[in-house]
Structure 1
Protein backbone atom coordinates (compact mmCIF):
# COMPACT_ATOMS: atom_id res chain seq x y z
CA UNK A 1 0.00 0.00 0.00
CA UNK A 2 1.64 3.29 -1.05
CA UNK A 3 1.71 6.43 1.07
CA UNK A 4 -1.62 8.01 0.19
CA UNK A 5 -1.87 10.51 3.04
CA UNK A 6 0.14 12.44 5.60
CA UNK A 7 -1.07 10.47 8.61
CA UNK A 8 0.43 7.59 10.56
CA UNK A 9 0.48 4.20 8.82
CA UNK A 10 0.66 0.90 10.67
CA UNK A 11 3.26 -1.51 9.33
CA UNK A 12 4.85 -4.86 10.15
CA UNK A 13 8.44 -6.07 10.04
CA UNK A 14 9.32 -9.76 10.21
CA UNK A 15 12.70 -11.16 11.16
CA UNK A 16 12.61 -14.62 9.58
CA UNK A 17 14.93 -17.27 11.02
CA UNK A 18 16.06 -20.47 9.29
CA UNK A 19 18.28 -22.68 11.45
CA UNK A 20 21.01 -20.29 12.69
CA UNK A 21 20.50 -17.44 10.20
CA UNK A 22 18.15 -14.48 9.91
CA UNK A 23 16.94 -13.00 6.63
CA UNK A 24 17.53 -9.37 5.70
CA UNK A 25 16.89 -7.64 2.38
CA UNK A 26 18.61 -4.68 0.77
CA UNK A 27 15.84 -2.13 0.29
CA UNK A 28 15.80 -0.76 -3.25
CA UNK A 29 14.84 2.79 -2.27
CA UNK A 30 16.83 3.24 0.94
CA UNK A 31 19.81 1.02 -0.03
CA UNK A 32 19.95 -0.36 3.52
CA UNK A 33 19.61 -3.83 4.99
CA UNK A 34 16.12 -4.15 6.46
CA UNK A 35 13.78 -6.90 7.50
CA UNK A 36 10.91 -8.09 5.33
CA UNK A 37 7.72 -6.12 5.88
CA UNK A 38 5.23 -3.54 4.76
CA UNK A 39 1.90 -1.85 5.38
CA UNK A 40 -1.03 -3.47 7.16
CA UNK A 41 -3.95 -3.41 4.73
CA UNK A 42 -7.39 -2.20 5.85
CA UNK A 43 -8.92 -5.69 5.66
CA UNK A 44 -6.31 -7.61 7.70
CA UNK A 45 -4.91 -7.87 11.18
CA UNK A 46 -1.17 -7.47 11.92
CA UNK A 47 -0.54 -11.24 11.99
CA UNK A 48 -2.12 -11.68 8.56
CA UNK A 49 -0.11 -8.72 7.24
CA UNK A 50 3.17 -10.18 8.52
CA UNK A 51 2.54 -13.54 6.87
CA UNK A 52 1.35 -11.91 3.62
CA UNK A 53 4.28 -9.50 3.36
CA UNK A 54 6.86 -12.28 3.73
CA UNK A 55 5.08 -14.39 1.11
CA UNK A 56 4.79 -11.44 -1.31
CA UNK A 57 8.32 -10.13 -0.91
CA UNK A 58 10.43 -13.29 -0.65
CA UNK A 59 8.06 -16.19 -1.33
CA UNK A 60 8.49 -17.84 2.07
CA UNK A 61 5.79 -19.51 4.12
CA UNK A 62 6.45 -18.69 7.76
CA UNK A 63 5.21 -19.46 11.23
CA UNK A 64 5.08 -16.44 13.52
CA UNK A 65 6.63 -17.08 16.91
CA UNK A 66 3.83 -16.97 19.47
CA UNK A 67 5.81 -17.60 22.65
CA UNK A 68 4.80 -14.18 24.00
CA UNK A 69 1.10 -14.99 23.77
CA UNK A 70 -0.13 -15.78 27.27
CA UNK A 71 -3.89 -16.03 26.94
CA UNK A 72 -4.99 -18.95 24.74
CA UNK A 73 -8.62 -19.39 25.76
CA UNK A 74 -10.99 -20.22 22.90
CA UNK A 75 -14.09 -18.05 22.64
CA UNK A 76 -15.41 -15.57 20.09
CA UNK A 77 -12.26 -13.48 20.34
CA UNK A 78 -9.31 -14.15 18.05
CA UNK A 79 -6.20 -13.79 20.19
CA UNK A 80 -3.45 -12.35 18.02
CA UNK A 81 0.22 -13.17 18.30
CA UNK A 82 1.84 -10.13 19.91
CA UNK A 83 4.87 -8.48 18.34
CA UNK A 84 8.23 -8.66 20.08
CA UNK A 85 8.77 -4.93 19.63
CA UNK A 86 6.79 -1.86 18.61
CA UNK A 87 8.20 1.44 17.37
CA UNK A 88 7.24 4.72 15.73
CA UNK A 89 9.49 6.22 13.08
CA UNK A 90 9.43 9.24 10.80
CA UNK A 91 9.44 8.41 7.09
CA UNK A 92 9.28 12.02 5.89
CA UNK A 93 8.47 15.45 7.31
CA UNK A 94 4.76 14.65 7.11
CA UNK A 95 4.56 10.87 7.40
CA UNK A 96 5.22 8.30 10.13
CA UNK A 97 4.96 4.55 10.63
CA UNK A 98 4.02 2.63 13.74
CA UNK A 99 5.72 -0.72 13.22
CA UNK A 100 4.95 -4.06 14.86
CA UNK A 101 8.06 -6.24 14.84
CA UNK A 102 7.59 -10.02 14.67
CA UNK A 103 9.94 -13.00 14.74
CA UNK A 104 9.15 -16.02 12.58
CA UNK A 105 10.57 -19.35 11.45
CA UNK A 106 10.84 -20.73 7.94
CA UNK A 107 11.27 -24.37 6.94
CA UNK A 108 13.47 -23.37 4.01
CA UNK A 109 16.08 -20.78 3.09
CA UNK A 110 15.11 -20.75 -0.60
CA UNK A 111 13.97 -17.28 -1.62
CA UNK A 112 11.43 -17.35 -4.45
CA UNK A 113 10.98 -14.81 -7.19
CA UNK A 114 7.67 -13.05 -6.57
CA UNK A 115 5.78 -10.11 -7.99
CA UNK A 116 7.04 -7.98 -5.09
CA UNK A 117 10.61 -9.30 -5.21
CA UNK A 118 11.66 -6.47 -7.51
CA UNK A 119 11.51 -4.23 -4.43
CA UNK A 120 14.30 -6.20 -2.82
CA UNK A 121 16.34 -8.18 -5.29
CA UNK A 122 19.19 -8.61 -2.82
CA UNK A 123 18.41 -10.86 0.14
CA UNK A 124 20.87 -12.51 2.49
CA UNK A 125 20.71 -14.95 5.38
CA UNK A 126 22.97 -13.58 8.14
CA UNK A 127 24.63 -15.55 10.94
CA UNK A 128 25.11 -14.00 14.37
CA UNK A 129 28.79 -13.28 13.63
CA UNK A 130 27.99 -11.68 10.28
CA UNK A 131 25.46 -9.39 11.98
CA UNK A 132 27.92 -8.40 14.68
CA UNK A 133 30.68 -7.60 12.17
CA UNK A 134 28.46 -5.77 9.66
CA UNK A 135 28.91 -1.99 9.89
CA UNK A 136 26.24 -1.21 7.30
CA UNK A 137 23.38 -2.29 9.54
CA UNK A 138 21.14 0.26 11.23
CA UNK A 139 21.50 -0.28 15.01
CA UNK A 140 17.86 -1.22 15.64
CA UNK A 141 17.86 -3.69 12.71
CA UNK A 142 21.00 -5.34 14.10
CA UNK A 143 19.43 -5.46 17.59
CA UNK A 144 16.16 -7.02 16.38
CA UNK A 145 17.96 -9.51 14.10
CA UNK A 146 20.24 -10.64 16.93
CA UNK A 147 17.25 -11.00 19.28
CA UNK A 148 15.41 -13.08 16.66
CA UNK A 149 18.41 -15.41 16.37
CA UNK A 150 18.73 -15.61 20.15
CA UNK A 151 15.08 -16.61 20.42
CA UNK A 152 14.58 -18.88 17.39
CA UNK A 153 17.86 -20.28 16.04
CA UNK A 154 18.39 -24.02 16.26
Structure 2
Protein backbone atom coordinates (compact mmCIF):
# COMPACT_ATOMS: atom_id res chain seq x y z
CA UNK A 1 0.00 0.00 0.00
CA UNK A 2 1.32 3.45 -0.88
CA UNK A 3 1.67 6.29 1.61
CA UNK A 4 -1.32 8.03 -0.02
CA UNK A 5 -3.45 4.86 0.20
CA UNK A 6 -2.53 4.44 3.86
CA UNK A 7 -3.42 8.08 4.50
CA UNK A 8 -6.80 7.67 2.79
CA UNK A 9 -7.50 4.57 4.90
CA UNK A 10 -6.61 6.51 8.06
CA UNK A 11 -8.80 9.45 7.00
CA UNK A 12 -11.74 7.13 6.34
CA UNK A 13 -11.36 5.41 9.72
CA UNK A 14 -11.00 8.71 11.59
CA UNK A 15 -13.98 10.29 9.80
CA UNK A 16 -16.10 7.28 10.82
CA UNK A 17 -14.98 7.79 14.42
CA UNK A 18 -15.73 11.50 14.11
CA UNK A 19 -19.26 10.78 12.81
CA UNK A 20 -19.96 8.31 15.62
CA UNK A 21 -18.73 10.79 18.21
CA UNK A 22 -20.84 13.58 16.66
CA UNK A 23 -23.97 11.40 16.86
CA UNK A 24 -23.21 10.51 20.48
CA UNK A 25 -22.61 14.15 21.43
CA UNK A 26 -25.82 15.20 19.67
CA UNK A 27 -27.79 12.59 21.62
CA UNK A 28 -26.37 13.86 24.91
CA UNK A 29 -27.03 17.51 24.05
CA UNK A 30 -30.75 17.06 23.49
CA UNK A 31 -32.24 13.56 23.65
CA UNK A 32 -35.02 14.41 21.21
CA UNK A 33 -32.73 16.09 18.67
CA UNK A 34 -30.72 13.70 16.48
CA UNK A 35 -27.69 14.86 14.55
CA UNK A 36 -29.79 14.84 11.35
CA UNK A 37 -32.52 16.89 13.05
CA UNK A 38 -29.98 19.36 14.37
CA UNK A 39 -28.47 19.68 10.90
CA UNK A 40 -31.88 20.26 9.30
CA UNK A 41 -32.79 22.90 11.90
CA UNK A 42 -29.49 24.64 11.27
CA UNK A 43 -30.13 24.69 7.54
CA UNK A 44 -33.62 26.11 8.04
CA UNK A 45 -32.20 28.84 10.24
CA UNK A 46 -29.42 29.67 7.78
CA UNK A 47 -31.67 29.62 4.72
CA UNK A 48 -34.60 31.41 6.32
CA UNK A 49 -36.81 28.44 5.46
CA UNK A 50 -37.07 26.01 2.56
CA UNK A 51 -39.06 23.10 1.18
CA UNK A 52 -38.51 19.54 2.42
CA UNK A 53 -37.42 18.56 -1.08
CA UNK A 54 -34.73 21.26 -0.93
CA UNK A 55 -33.43 19.75 2.32
CA UNK A 56 -33.33 16.29 0.77
CA UNK A 57 -31.45 17.56 -2.28
CA UNK A 58 -29.01 19.70 -0.28
CA UNK A 59 -28.00 16.86 2.06
CA UNK A 60 -28.36 14.06 -0.53
CA UNK A 61 -30.91 12.35 1.71
CA UNK A 62 -33.81 10.21 0.67
CA UNK A 63 -37.09 12.14 0.66
CA UNK A 64 -38.66 9.61 3.04
CA UNK A 65 -35.82 10.19 5.55
CA UNK A 66 -36.38 13.94 5.41
CA UNK A 67 -40.14 13.44 5.64
CA UNK A 68 -39.76 11.41 8.85
CA UNK A 69 -37.40 13.97 10.35
CA UNK A 70 -39.66 16.88 9.36
CA UNK A 71 -42.67 15.09 10.84
CA UNK A 72 -40.86 14.54 14.13
CA UNK A 73 -39.68 18.16 14.24
CA UNK A 74 -43.23 19.37 13.53
CA UNK A 75 -44.70 17.16 16.26
CA UNK A 76 -42.08 18.52 18.68
CA UNK A 77 -43.17 22.06 17.77
CA UNK A 78 -39.72 23.00 16.44
CA UNK A 79 -40.72 23.72 12.85
CA UNK A 80 -43.88 24.74 11.03
CA UNK A 81 -45.09 24.77 7.45
CA UNK A 82 -46.09 28.02 5.80
CA UNK A 83 -47.47 28.63 2.35
CA UNK A 84 -44.96 30.12 -0.06
CA UNK A 85 -46.18 33.68 -0.72
CA UNK A 86 -45.18 33.35 -4.39
CA UNK A 87 -46.72 29.91 -4.96
CA UNK A 88 -49.50 28.84 -2.61
CA UNK A 89 -49.14 25.23 -3.76
CA UNK A 90 -45.74 25.05 -2.04
CA UNK A 91 -45.17 24.69 1.68
CA UNK A 92 -42.00 26.15 3.16
CA UNK A 93 -40.55 24.88 6.43
CA UNK A 94 -39.59 27.45 9.06
CA UNK A 95 -38.27 27.28 12.60
CA UNK A 96 -40.72 28.07 15.35
CA UNK A 97 -39.64 30.16 18.31
CA UNK A 98 -39.11 26.91 20.27
CA UNK A 99 -37.02 25.57 17.40
CA UNK A 100 -34.85 28.68 17.41
CA UNK A 101 -34.34 28.40 21.17
CA UNK A 102 -33.40 24.71 21.12
CA UNK A 103 -31.11 25.18 18.14
CA UNK A 104 -29.32 28.04 19.91
CA UNK A 105 -28.98 26.00 23.11
CA UNK A 106 -27.63 22.91 21.35
CA UNK A 107 -25.28 25.03 19.23
CA UNK A 108 -23.86 26.67 22.36
CA UNK A 109 -23.44 23.29 24.04
CA UNK A 110 -21.76 21.72 21.00
CA UNK A 111 -19.43 24.69 20.62
CA UNK A 112 -18.43 24.40 24.29
CA UNK A 113 -17.68 20.68 23.90
CA UNK A 114 -15.64 21.34 20.76
CA UNK A 115 -13.73 24.20 22.38
CA UNK A 116 -12.83 21.95 25.33
CA UNK A 117 -11.70 19.16 23.00
CA UNK A 118 -9.49 21.55 21.01
CA UNK A 119 -8.34 23.71 23.93
CA UNK A 120 -4.74 22.47 23.86
CA UNK A 121 -4.34 22.72 20.08
CA UNK A 122 -2.01 25.48 18.87
CA UNK A 123 -3.78 28.27 16.98
CA UNK A 124 -1.97 27.42 13.72
CA UNK A 125 -3.25 23.82 13.93
CA UNK A 126 -6.82 25.06 14.46
CA UNK A 127 -6.57 27.38 11.47
CA UNK A 128 -5.08 24.61 9.30
CA UNK A 129 -7.69 22.06 10.44
CA UNK A 130 -10.54 24.52 9.73
CA UNK A 131 -9.14 25.19 6.25
CA UNK A 132 -8.82 21.46 5.52
CA UNK A 133 -12.41 20.83 6.60
CA UNK A 134 -13.66 23.70 4.43
CA UNK A 135 -11.66 22.39 1.49
CA UNK A 136 -12.94 18.85 1.96
CA UNK A 137 -16.58 19.95 2.32
CA UNK A 138 -16.33 22.24 -0.73
CA UNK A 139 -15.40 19.24 -2.89
CA UNK A 140 -17.78 17.90 -5.50
CA UNK A 141 -20.79 16.05 -4.12
CA UNK A 142 -20.78 13.60 -7.04
CA UNK A 143 -17.59 12.09 -5.60
CA UNK A 144 -19.78 10.64 -2.86
**With structure 1 as the length reference, what TM-score do the two structures score?**
0.25
Higher relative contact order (CA 8 A, sep 6+): 1
Between structures 1 and 2, the one with greater helix share: 2
Q: Which has the larger radius of gyration?
A: 2
Between structures 1 and 2, the one with greater strand share: 1
**With structure 2 as the length reference, what TM-score do the two structures score?**
0.26
